[in-house]
Structure 1
Amino acid sequence: MSLSRTALGRYVPILDWGRRYDGRAAGADLMAAVIVTIMLIPQSLAYALLAGLPPQMGLYASILPLVAYALFGTSRALAVGPVAVVSLMTAAAVGGLGLQGPAEYALAAITLAFLSGLILLVMGLFRLGFLANFLSHPVIAGFIAASGLLIAASQLKHILGVEANGHSLLAMLGGVIGDLGQTNPITLAIGAGSAAFLFWVRKGLKPLLISVGLPPRLADSLAKAGPVGAVAVTTLLSWGFDLAGRGVAIVGEVPKGLPPLTLPSFDMALWGQLFASALLISIIGFVESVSVAQTLAAKKRQRIVPDQELVGLGASNVAAALSGGYPVTGGFARSVVNFDAGAETPAAGAFTAVGIAGAALFLTPLLFFLPKATLAATIIVAVLGLVDLGILKRTWNYHRADFTAVAATIALTLGFGVEIGVSAGVILSIALFLYKTSRPHIAEVGVVPGTQHFRNINRHEVWTHPAVVTLRLDENLYFANSRFIEDYLLERVARGGVRHVVLMCSAVNEIDLSALEALEEINRQLADESVTLHLSEVKGPVMDRLSHTHFLADLTGEVFLTQYMAQATLGPVEGCPHWRDGGRENVA
């Protein structure tokens, strides 16, 4: 019984932490939920606007998905819901379908959430979380930075009160510039004023509140509620001065009540159109969530289970699809607030869902006069914190290949939209990886005098034997680099005077069939030249694999446990007159 409970707790984590839940944890979770709820209400509305959806869908996406994650997620602090990048990707995915009317648009967004949930669930059940590793951190950083700029640019039309469209940065800015003459000054005052206030709140409100005597924690909580203050003040101004009658765009009627029960479309043609977008949203959302969750868990010496996180996020997206929402994931800023507010368990998310449900039931009539410019300012302030163009300088200084991937991701995202940008970033990262590993670093090594250590002859002063060449292979051997290694080795032997070649395999974790065939060919060609091939420091798993082939039986030389044993057997260096000064310049 205990074993089955443990196994079930692995797949339904609430059965594990729920047994230890007490009043202290509940109090901490409730406090965190209050703060996150206050933060999430304007964000949910704003991100739905960003996705091109009715504002209530943002609230709906912040109720049942949070409950689903509380049941199946493993992070104690991750706050799930609508986020800026996924909202932008939703707009790009659904906006390109040529749908007629908001009802079809909303159904496509619901279907996108359902597809994303299914993909995440399948990945979790089959433990495919490693697939997210194909998105390198520099590519993700570049994508998020470019997306932040795109999102901010997309909201300028709401700040100015003009009509402007486009999916690329130049198209958006061109549309805004072309319509500048139609700017509504009242809308601009509200949008710019809200943005200025929110920027100040981020940096200046907390110190001000502390200076007047408020406790730091309370001051921090009030500062986090800044967007709610902007919403309340501008809504009152809009209502009191009838700003809608003066051309200020307002949210309008937001249906009152709990999320409706909805079903996705089961039109396979629509699924086919949305699948690629759903896959990208799933992977991007998973990478963002896991990065945040791991960072926060490490601060409390906790751990998350990435494959179970896939299940938790998958269940959250399916829940969104069944309750009138759109794709969700774990948000960075929201999760940090949840963590800082003292959340102890995923129950904080469930309590937040109750708060959002209360807002959907009782507060939505108050949002009728809310200016869209205020929501746009909320989005701009939130996403500009994600823009880190310093990644370009860091990757340029560290590794030009990474810089190429980041620069291409940023340029293509800004120029052609989020899906092309991130797809190109992934493809380019994989291509660069294959290129780098197809031309692995190979070091000719010798023994450091007075030691049993072997180092690169071009980096250190070492002893070598003229008849023994030792090559250290600093990469796994596989189909992409087997020919390169074969050509390199045979070219080195062709210089003459070599009787023994030792391949030092201390860095080799894998030899695939193509590489094995290359080694067999090398062994034959060296034998024709009366040169013996040896291996040293072969790792156990690699040796196990080789033992099932004829290669070891056909090998003209030996397999040595250590490189020092190989050198001592084949060409002892003690008293050897051939000193090699590796020269420290031109280090490869």
Structure 2
Amino acid sequence: MDFKSLGRVLPVLDWGRDYDRHALTDDGMAAVIVTIMLIPQSLAYALLAGLPPEAGLYASIRPIILYAIFGTSRALAVGPVAVVSLMTAAAIGDVAEAGTAGYAVAALTLAGLSGLILLTMGILRLGFLANFLSHPVIAGFITASGILIAVSQLKHLLGVKASGGSLPDMLWSLLWHLADINSLTLLIGVASAAFLFWVRRGLKPLLVQRGFGPRAADMGAKAGPVIAVAFSTFLVWLFGLDQHGVAVVGAVPQGLPPLTLPSFSPGLIGALFVPALLISVIGFVESMSVAQTLAAKKRQRIDPDQELIGLGAANIGAALTGGYPVTGGFARSVVNYDAGAATPAAGAFTAVGLAIAAIFLTPLIYFLPIATLAATIIVAVLSLVDFAILRSSWAYSKADFAAVAGTILLTLGFGVETGVSAGVILSIGLHLYRSSRPHIAEVGLVPGTQHFRNILRHRVLTDPAIVTFRPDQSLYFANARFIEDHVFARVQAGGPVRDVVLMCSAINEIDLSAVETLEEITKRLKEMGIRLHLSEVKGPVMDRLCRAHFLRDLTGKVFLAQYDAFAALAPDTVAGDQAKPVMS
């Protein structure tokens, strides 16, 4: 294997060759900013997943380094994200009780399974499968997940015990426990949320007005969650609020991520396989959308299959170091990009910063109120909620709207796993529905040219004895009958039509079922005294047709161009068009 081939397998060898002091400076600055952002975020997302807070830090150290070695994006920041954390809680909540050793082992197993699935997909070069999830459906799922995540954190904001995996269950549980609200917890949570909302919109302009440069002001704004965490932790410690019912993080193990092993129990693996598959697909789609968006801004290339391998390695790393499933996060990746990250080394430097935090800073978060972490999650995930997709999909396509609305309602009504499963099914179903009813144009000759266009959209020349259809899609088992019905709905027995031409310029493939349907169309047209012809058949399609009996039984001819077919079958019409004077 030469160096170039090895660089495709290990992208670190590609960008590492040109690594210089300028890239080191940019990556180091980006790492400082992202580390500051990730410390509270990692703790919060571990809480969302139902795991101890240190699991969030552990899931943000080794996985980032592994992605830097195997991944192709130079700006993607890998680690715990809100949607995957919620899906993790939903998946392992069915097989273990939160807070137990079995729950943590199930999280490791879920990460390991997800990593193996992603690695397998990458090795088999199955990155294209993510294309079967339509963007509107993914947007609907993420919007619904954002709502579920925000509502799930209200119990920590109120200081009550509540449960539920769907929106109705969560709301009912919250209403049932309203009498148990802890006023101090509510005050801390609401104040933290209000401060974080203000930081997002008002802190940067304020710092700029006070004379800070744009980059320094942006760093200050990104440090908002750290300020909220530090101040609320200090207040709880100063006034002993943990003695008055305010829930705190408590003791967090101090040190680097431990070496761990997932469970190899067939029963647990069987129970978690489908959730792991869904997490892998959703995580990959989210990661790819972010990576490709950021790469396009710098004209860089993302390899989907290598991304699968990078994310797979990151998840296996999480399973072996006390973490849980990870993927590329939108918010932290954008921050990483805006902060000037030049290479994946920025992620490795971020991992070093988080490792230092895990060693030296964990004793400082003993009194960190859970309500502040909940406020951090709520503020972060509400940016995911985008109901504009409903309006835009309604205006553009009612079928897309139905898929988006269905995904949102099913996710909210029945939980994350049902929602994501519905999203996959709706995406595939929408594709099959559209491809099973392809657009079929009846075309005619544009006067004075050799071009053929839709008779309903253009003024064209036609002949009553000839009908030309142009299916604008490949022919396969799902749409073959639709095309057959379309042909015979137009051609009447005993009518003036004597020739039907199938213009194949938009047909890239014809499967065996469609060939059999074409043979049946030929036979029925022959009984009606009508010939079937083909035109503009592409080479690979013709190669396939030559292997079947269809061409031998074809009653008409195969024409190289549609104009040739029209000239041969309607010579008087073509001659009359050519005899007309050209208007200047």
Same fold by TM-score greater than 0.5: yes
Q: Which residue of 2 aligns with 1:546?
A: 545
Deviation per residue, 1:83-118 (Å, 9 max, x gap): 000000000000011448521100000000000000
Tell me whether 271-280 or 99-108 shows the greater mean CA deviation.
99-108
- For 1:432 and 1:66, locate their aligned partners in 2 and report how far apart those are by CA, in whole Å: 36
| CA displacement at 1:501 relative to structure 2 | 0.5
**Could you tell me which of 231, 240, 243 is aligned with 1:242?**
240
Deviation per residue, 1:299-343 (Å, 9 max, x gap): 011111110000000000000000000000000000000000000
Question: Is structure 2 residue 284 aligned with structure 1 residue 286?
Answer: yes
**Could you tell me which of 55, 58, 63 is aligned with 2:56?**
58
Q: Which residue of 1 aligns with 2:580?
A: none
Question: Is structure 2 residue 563 aligned with structure 1 residue 564?
Answer: yes
Q: TM-score, normalised by structure 2?
A: 0.97
**Could you tell me which of 359, 363, 366 is aligned with 1:365?**
363
Q: Which residue of 2 aligns with 1:583?
A: none
**Could you tell me which of 115, 119, 123 is aligned with 1:117?**
115
**Could you tell me which of 7, 12, 18 is aligned with 1:14?**
12
| CA displacement at 1:163 relative to structure 2 | 0.8
- For 2:100 and 2:373, locate their aligned partners in 1 and report how far apart those are by CA, in whole Å: 20
1:61-100 counterparts in 2 under 5 A?
61-99=59-97
1:92-491 counterparts in 2 under 5 A?
92-99=90-97, 102-491=100-489
Moved over 3 A (4+): 98-101, 574-577
**Structure 2: gaps of 5 or more residues:** 578-584
User: SS state of the match for residue 97, structure 1?
Assistant: coil
- For 2:60 and 2:400, locate their aligned partners in 1 and report how far apart those are by CA, in whole Å: 36
Contact 2:96 / 2:102 at 8 angstroms: preserved in 1? no
Contact 1:463 / 1:576 at 8 angstroms: preserved in 2? no
Deviation per residue, 1:514-561 (Å, 9 max, x gap): 000111111122222221111111122212222222322322211112
- For 2:210 and 2:386, locate their aligned partners in 1 and report how far apart those are by CA, in whole Å: 34
User: SS state of the match for residue 444, structure 1?
Assistant: strand
Letter matched to residue 527 of structure 1: K
Letter matched to residue 211 of structure 1: Q
Tell me whether 537-546 or 134-143 shows the greater mean CA deviation.
537-546
Contact 1:67 / 1:349 at 8 angstroms: preserved in 2? yes
| CA displacement at 1:488 relative to structure 2 | 2.0
Q: Which residue of 2 aligns with 1:528?
A: 527
Contact 1:55 / 1:254 at 8 angstroms: preserved in 2? yes
Q: TM-score, normalised by structure 1?
A: 0.96
| CA displacement at 1:374 relative to structure 2 | 0.3
| CA displacement at 1:144 relative to structure 2 | 0.2
Contact 2:62 / 2:317 at 8 angstroms: preserved in 1? yes
Letter matched to residue 124 of structure 1: G
- For 1:233 and 1:393, locate their aligned partners in 2 and report how far apart those are by CA, in whole Å: 41
Question: Is structure 2 residue 496 aligned with structure 1 residue 497?
Answer: yes
Tell me whether 290-299 or 428-437 shows the greater mean CA deviation.
428-437
Letter matched to residue 500 of structure 2: V
Aligned length: 575
Deviation per residue, 1:277-303 (Å, 9 max, x gap): 000000000000010000000001111
Q: CA RMSD in A?
A: 1.2
Contact 2:399 / 2:430 at 8 angstroms: preserved in 1? yes
| CA displacement at 1:486 relative to structure 2 | 1.5
- For 1:142 and 1:329, locate their aligned partners in 2 and report how far apart those are by CA, in whole Å: 19
User: SS state of the match for residue 385, structure 1?
Assistant: helix
Contact 1:191 / 1:376 at 8 angstroms: preserved in 2? yes
Contact 2:168 / 2:413 at 8 angstroms: preserved in 1? yes
- For 1:204 and 1:98, locate their aligned partners in 2 and report how far apart those are by CA, in whole Å: 43
Letter matched to residue 509 of structure 1: N
Contact 1:465 / 1:576 at 8 angstroms: preserved in 2? no
User: SS state of the match for residue 302, structure 2?
Assistant: coil
Identical counterparts, % of pairs: 71
